[in-house]
Amino acid sequence: MPIDNELLEILVCPETQQPVTFASADVIGPLNAEIEAGRLRNRGGDVVEQPIAEGLLREDGRILYIIDDSIPIMLIDQSIELG
């Protein structure tokens, strides 16, 4: 079940309060390649082991929050910094 649009409208980055939008396949694809190679770490330093199906991208394009089973994980340590 996808995230409701009303929920998406009120979600913001907990760090900067910037709005978030759904991440495109162009953003998620390379991250999944890094996960498969065992090289992707979240901001807390943990290796990300599960492929990312959906994510929320911070407005500035620098941070991704993973959506796990239709639940956005809006924890700074669990977010992924993008190149």
5-44 pLDDT tens trace: 888 889 999 999 999 999 999 999 999 999 999 999 999 9
pTM: 0.94
Give Cα separations from 26 to 37, 57, 76, 80 (angstroms).
18, 12, 22, 15
What is the mean pLDDT of the segment spanning 67-77?
Answer: 95
Residue 1 has pLDDT above 70, yes or no: no
What domain range is 35 assigned to?
Answer: 5-81
Domain count within the chain: 1
- Is the pLDDT at 63 greater than 80? The verdict is yes
